Structure 1
Amino acid sequence: MALWRIRATVDDRPGFLAVLAASLALKSVNILAVQVHTTEVGAVDDFLVDAPDAMTETELVAAVERGRGRDPWVTRAEARGLADQPTRTLGLANRLVRDPESLGDVLGVLLGATAVTWRPTSGSPSQGFHDDAMKLPDPAGGSFEIVRAAPGFTPAEYARAQALVELAATIGRRSTDQIAVMLADGSELTLRPATSDDLPAVLAMHDRCSAGTLHRRYLSGSSAPSRALLNRLLEPAHGVTLLAVAADPERVVAMANLIAEGQLGEVALLLEDGWQRRGLGTSLLRRLAAHAGWSQHAALVAHTQADNVGMLRTLQRLGRPGPMERDGNFVSVTVPLAGTPAPGPASVPAQTPASSA
């Protein structure tokens, strides 16, 4: 038996795929895998089949046409074709995460391209596809032109390629967001976005914080929040969480949260005791303000204790005075962003996480 790949268009109507499968079965051709690509001219069926060794390409084409398949394309296949398309695509996504510079190669493998050419572009790069060519933007600049002699590209393949381009863009943004900072005392740290993989390191940081520091951050109690809450804080649905990572020894020493709430971005900081009053809180807060500006928030708001002098001074260092409202032992500070009017002061929710600088 020999492996073949077959692609043909059939009418997207009940029973037509069964007719094609039956025609192949009459020739002892076993279908091992099938993908269906919906197009405007019908369903493009992509088969991996096992056929008798003596069967020729011409005989396979004839069997497809007898089964009402149009525009058949047939070629010999390799055993690696037994991996289904979702598995192959996930494998390529994993490669892209490990090596973001491999986008061109990854697209070539995904699409079975005969050539992948990177071209510089001015303005917005064109994108789209037709029978044998596809154009996709390179998130780093320029665009990729992907050529395949046969078969023609389908909308499903274009969508998969776009998804990998979007993944590369996300990886690139995260890489750009990672910056090195040097504090006034010469200490060097890396500021970067958090991910769920950082949970163990963040839990360890909480264990090193004093009860007073935790109380100032979370407003009530003096213990670390649950793992579930920390997971939500690390990758918020709307906003960003930044971590400060020390190099020697490597460990997370601070966490800064920006949670979007309408036009406001609520901010909160937690710094290990030994890293407070060294300028790190100011660096983190300025970075959060930049993220809020990119997201077009009107202002930042921070809820903290009225006696949390460190956090209040850190907010003042942004140089953007705004409304302040006191409610008993708590203060809400609203910091307008550049070029936007300051909204009215926000009231302090009963259990809103607060800040420690």
Structure 2
Amino acid sequence: MLWRVRATLPERPGALAALAAECGAAGVNILGVQVFPGIEAVTDELVLSTPDAWTAADLVDLVGRAGAESVIAAPCTEAALTDQPTRYVQAARAVLETPASFPEVVAALLDADVLPVGDSQDVMEMTVGAVQVQIRRDAPFTATEHARGSAMADLVNDVLGREQHHPHHPAFVLSDNRRMGAGSSPAYHVEGRSAVASIEGVRVGLATLREAGPDLPDVLPVDLEVDPAWQRRGIGTRLLSDAARLANGLGAEAILLTTRSDNQAVMPMVMAAGMRGRIRMAGDALTVRIAVRDLRPLPVAQP
């Protein structure tokens, strides 16, 4: 059976050798080692092979006898034996292809989760533009892993920066619809719980606030849609901003935007709107929670 074990060893000569000796005496095979250096202690991550009857508690006891502290053991698969530089290259390629996949990619890279699993998990927070991305896991993140996470976030910032300066690479595929009033500027107004954009009297964009759910009574989901023929013109950014201000006027704490995980326009749109958001990815869905309490309220249109 394969296990991933993370432990803190004292920074002294022979510490890892003592651990190897304990494993050898118990018939446990060390298949992989990754070292995260520190000043007074070193965090080691090992992939161990044990007989099928072994439990996580057995491994914690074994590694503890070698002088290790903060030992965490969990079953793993052969994927844990993948070469680490190869994993990071593959992760970088995935982020370059789909920047919005960053939360899921970096979580997998650091053996973490995007969504909370328990109350005692350690949290790593990274910033992409104005978007805060959080990942978490039971084992504390090391300084080396924080640096790696920041480097991956910088990569996303670079990619999104290039997208903003190269509009000939659109995040949306434009439709063949006729571009009505190509020289006209959009007009924006509020209809009930919706922020509306129109061109020459024709509606081209809409952001509608739905009712809050029982689990998040202070968070209003928002449905945002822009005619494909009018995307990449800042309409979505303006509508998102107006919807956020409208939500503030309704007494909400935040809005929640949900879209496909492969929608590359979401992060640039939130960044361009200048608002603080937290992005999460789960399966095929990407959600962004944007705080609205510090925004200037937008009056709600009266029926």
TM-score, L = length of structure 1:
0.44
Cα drift, residue 23 of structure 1: 0.5
Larger deviation, residues 105-114 vs 11-20: 105-114
- Does the 8 Å CA contact 2:104/2:114 hold for their aligned counterparts? no
Cα drift, residue 73 of structure 1: 0.7
Q: What is aligned with 2:49?
A: 50
The one of 151, 175, 191 aligned to 2:139 = 151
Q: What is aligned with 1:77?
A: 76
- Does the 8 Å CA contact 1:96/1:102 hold for their aligned counterparts? yes
Q: 4+ runs of 1 displaced by more than 6 Å? A: none
Code of the aligned partner of 2:103: G
Code of the aligned partner of 1:3: L
Q: What is aligned with 1:275?
A: none
The one of 133, 151, 161 aligned to 2:149 = 161
Q: What is aligned with 2:108?
A: 109
Cα drift, residue 51 of structure 1: 1.1
CA RMSD of aligned residues (A): 1.9
Aligned counterparts, 1:301-320, within 5 A: none
In structure 2, relative to structure 1, the CA distance for the partners of 1:68 and 1:12 (3 Å cut) is: same
Code of the aligned partner of 1:168: V
Cα drift, residue 56 of structure 1: 2.3
**Residue by residue, what CA displacement relative to the aligned partner does 1:55-90 show, whole Å, maximum 9, x if unpaired?**
222221111111111121111111111113222121
Decide which structure has the larger Cα Rg and report it: 1
Q: What is aligned with 1:138?
A: 128
Quick one: distance in 1 between partners of 2:62 and 2:7?
11
- Does the 8 Å CA contact 2:121/2:136 hold for their aligned counterparts? no
Cα drift, residue 131 of structure 1: 6.8
Aligned counterparts, 1:1-357, within 5 A: 2-116=1-115, 132-139=122-129, 141-148=130-137, 150-180=138-168
SS in 1 for 2:37: strand
Cα drift, residue 179 of structure 1: 3.5
- Does the 8 Å CA contact 1:138/1:144 hold for their aligned counterparts? yes
SS in 1 for 2:6: strand
Cα drift, residue 142 of structure 1: 2.0
SS in 2 for 1:175: helix
SS in 2 for 1:179: coil
In structure 2, relative to structure 1, the CA distance for the partners of 1:179 and 1:60 (3 Å cut) is: closer
**Residue by residue, what CA displacement relative to the aligned partner does 1:307-355 show, whole Å, maximum 9, x if unpaired?**
xxxxxxxxxxxxxxxxxxxxxxxxxxxxxxxxxxxxxxxxxxxxxxxxx
Q: Provide structure 1 residue ranges, at least 5 long, that are not aligned to the other structure.
A: 118-129, 181-357
SS in 1 for 2:85: helix
Cα drift, residue 95 of structure 1: 0.5
TM-score, L = length of structure 2:
0.51
- Does the 8 Å CA contact 2:7/2:68 hold for their aligned counterparts? yes
- Does the 8 Å CA contact 1:96/1:106 hold for their aligned counterparts? yes
Cα drift, residue 116 of structure 1: 4.6
- Does the 8 Å CA contact 1:116/1:144 hold for their aligned counterparts? no
Cα drift, residue 165 of structure 1: 0.7
Quick one: distance in 2 between partners of 1:66 and 1:99?
45
Quick one: distance in 2 between partners of 1:109 and 1:87?
14
Code of the aligned partner of 2:150: Q
Quick one: distance in 2 between partners of 1:163 and 1:136?
10
Quick one: distance in 2 between partners of 1:40 and 1:146?
25
Quick one: distance in 2 between partners of 1:131 and 1:37?
19
Code of the aligned partner of 1:144: V
- Does the 8 Å CA contact 1:33/1:84 hold for their aligned counterparts? no
Cα drift, residue 3 of structure 1: 0.3
Quick one: distance in 1 between partners of 2:113 and 2:99?
21
- Does the 8 Å CA contact 1:104/1:116 hold for their aligned counterparts? no
Percent of matched pairs sharing the same residue: 33
**Residue by residue, what CA displacement relative to the aligned partner does 1:189-220 show, whole Å, maximum 9, x if unpaired?**
xxxxxxxxxxxxxxxxxxxxxxxxxxxxxxxx
SS in 1 for 2:8: strand
SS in 1 for 2:42: strand
